Amino acid sequence: MSSVISLPITLGAPPKGYKAPAFKPLSAASTSSKIFPAGPAFNAHARRGLNQHSFDDDDAALSAEAAKNGKQVEEDDDVDAHLGNEKEDKEILQSDPKQWKSQDHYEVLGLQSLRYKATDEQIKKAHRRKVLRHHPDKKASAGGLANDDSFFKCIAKAMEQLSNPEKRRQFDSVDEAIPDDVPEVKETTAENFYDLWGPVFEREGRFSKVQPVPSLGNKDTPRKEVEALYDFFYNIDSWRSFEYLDKDSPEGTDSRDEKRHQEKKNKAERARKKKEDIARVRELTDRALSLDPRIKQFKAEEKAARAAKKGGVSGVSPADLEKKKEEEQKAKEEEAKKAAEEAQKAADDKVSREAAKKAKAAAQKNVKKAQKAISALVTSNNYFVATGSSPSPAIVEGQLTELDLLYGALDAEQVAEFRTEAEAQSSPEKIKGVITSWAKKVEAKVGEGKFKQFA
């Protein structure tokens, strides 16, 4: 219990001359005013009251509105960046992020029609579009699997590769979706030369460190520019490299010696491919030079000038030279008439070539998909070792190497048949049996003793 204690203290009188301090107000006197409720919390409260929503109902409505707005932003970005509406292939949506090196980064972001021509801004907007569409949280809210983020990881890897200039160049250097075929001699004429070879030089010029690259031009291009074009490609300074195709050390290998050995092999392989690429560009430049009608015309003019000069010295009359000139003009007119007759045929041939090129590209894509599916069967079945055991690095590398050897010995139809037969099997033993059977079919072609894992 508390108690009160009285102290015998008495306050004395204030000192002489003491004055109490004057009162000074710190603020103006209060006035009456109206106060209105405001702020995010009040807005949410009012929204729930007007819509008669519970907290859960209100959250669901906000999520739906955000998804709708996100889609609208996505569509606006598509228009702004001229991205178009690329279709999403079912197989690309099932890509394995662990196999990111084999994925088409441009297709993952929906930029397969632009590829190396895509700007940094277009890549950013395409990435944003894919993130809005495939974010795991959005799948969960739509009733999907919250942990199904495989394709989202592929999107992140594609953005990492294409947003880094050095990494993007490495991928562009080996982009299999860009055709590298060169027109044949027999299909090239003076009329279709520029249509056939113009895209070839444009395609090869993208690797040049020096930009802009001279264009092929047309029949009226001055001689100086024509010669500058061929001089440029004979001495092109290319940034193309082949690091993207480097093979990694077998999984689980910690040996420094083995890693150094693999790096040495990769370096030698890059040098070999670079040498082959330089030779390829020189060879196609040689072929274009030999087929260019302007070069033929320049040589003919030089020959005629030398003949005219020699004729004047030998006493050939101006009348004879004029007659010869008229004959040459007549021959040119006849040649032009013949060329006009062949123009329609050349146009038809061009349509046929384009159709064949598209068919070839589609076939190559299907072959790649089939090979990827077969390799996935091997991986998903633990490289055919006993359940509960881990395959050794030697087994993994050996089986993948032999699969590459097997793929190289089969044509497109055989690879498709191989895939169908393998996917129809119900056990790892039967799948391995199918692979072994195909290996035996091509053993004579690749050489005996090449297959050990699938013998």
Strands (E), 71-110: none
Handedness of CA 66, 126, 75, 136 (dihedral sign): negative
pLDDT for 72 equals 56
Residue 339 tokens read as: 């060329």
68 and 153 both lie in a single domain: yes
244 and 262 both lie in a single domain: yes
Query: Does the structure show a pLDDT above 70 at 205?
Result: yes
155 and 249 both lie in a single domain: no
Predicted TM-score (pTM) of this structure: 0.56
Quote the mean pLDDT of the chain: 84
223 and 290 both lie in a single domain: yes
Contact predicate 85/71, CB 8 Å: no
112 and 138 both lie in a single domain: yes
Q: How far is CA 173 from CA 112, 116, 168, 357, in A?
A: 15, 10, 8, 21
Q: What total of structural domains would you count in the chain?
A: 3
> What is the residue range of 304's domain?
179-313
Among 156, 172, 188, give the residue marking a domain's end: 172
158 and 185 both lie in a single domain: no
Q: Is residue 439 in some structural domain?
A: yes
Contact predicate 396/252, CB 8 Å: no
Lowest mean pLDDT segment, chosen from 169-173, 278-282, 328-332: 328-332
Query: Does the structure show a pLDDT above 50 at 173?
Result: yes
Q: Is residue 9 in some structural domain?
A: no
pLDDT for 117 equals 92
Among 130, 146, 172, give the residue marking a domain's end: 172
What are the tens digits of pLDDT across the range 310-321? 765 445 555 565
CATH code at 391?
A: 1.10.8.840
Contact predicate 265/247, CB 8 Å: yes
Q: Is residue 413 in some structural domain?
A: yes
183 and 284 both lie in a single domain: yes
Residue 56 tokens read as: 């859960």
pLDDT for 140 equals 60
Q: Which residues of 283-311 are buried (b: 16+ CB within 10 A; e: fewer)?
A: ebbebbeebbebbeeeeeeeeeeeeeeee
193 and 303 both lie in a single domain: yes
What are the tens digits of pLDDT across the range 135-158? 887 766 555 554 568 899 999 999
Contact predicate 58/47, CB 8 Å: yes
131 and 193 both lie in a single domain: no
What are the tens digits of pLDDT across the range 111-139? 998 999 999 999 999 999 999 888 887 76
Q: Is residue 324 in some structural domain?
A: no
Return all residues near 362 (Cβ < 8 A) that are at least 6 apart.
none
